[in-house]
């Protein structure tokens, strides 16, 4: 599953959307164990009943991690993740919510290394009600074509 795409091959406005994935209690418990984030907002159902949302909320970092995995596709041997900018947790995600992700090529720009450019993939994560729950910009460092 390799797909070589050079900087010049990315088109502004190009989009792709994932299938849905339902967030489970197991997802939250495993993420809490992996990260050590056992804040009651995520793991204490009784305490959460007394709070604004009335139920447990998935970790923002869990939703981000799941979304990144959902948007991963073919391996591009000439592109490298350069990081993420503008990550925001817009709305809470609850146990039983189903999320989908849309990635849009929102920017392309030069990089200080002349053989590379930066491609910005804007990520929108929505719940089953079509509400945006998370946004971020994924920066890709992509080789320029050597034709």
CATH homologous superfamily of 7-143 equals Hotdog Thioesterase (3.10.129.10)
Confidence of residue 147 (pLDDT cuts 50, 70, 90): low
pLDDT, average across residues 120-141:
98
- Residues with Cβ < 8 Å from 92, sequence gap 6 or more? 53, 57, 58, 133
Give the residue extent of every domain in the chain.
7-143
> What is the C-alpha separation between 35 and 39, in angstroms, rounded?
11
Single pTM value for the model: 0.94
**Which pLDDT tens digit goes with each residue over 79-114?**
999 999 999 999 999 999 999 999 999 999 999 999
pLDDT, average across residues 43-57:
96
């Amino acid at each position: 599953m390799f797909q070589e795409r050079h900087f010049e091959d990315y088109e502004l406005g190009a989009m792709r959307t994932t299938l849905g994935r339902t967030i489970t209690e197991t997802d939250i418990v495993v993420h809490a164990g992996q990260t050590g984030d056992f804040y009651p907002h995520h793991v204490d159902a009784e305490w959460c009943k007394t709070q604004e949302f009335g139920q447990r909320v998935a970790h923002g970092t869990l939703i981000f991690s799941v979304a990144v995995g959902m948007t991963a596709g073919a391996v591009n041997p000439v592109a490298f993740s350069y990081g993420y900018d503008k990550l925001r947790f817009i709305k809470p995600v609850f146990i039983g919510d189903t999320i989908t992700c849309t990635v849009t090529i929102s920017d392309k720009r030069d990089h200080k290394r002349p053989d590379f450019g930066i491609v910005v993939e804007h990520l929108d994560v929505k719940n089953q009600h079509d509400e945006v729950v998370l946004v971020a910009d994924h920066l890709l460092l992509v080789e320029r074509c050597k034709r």
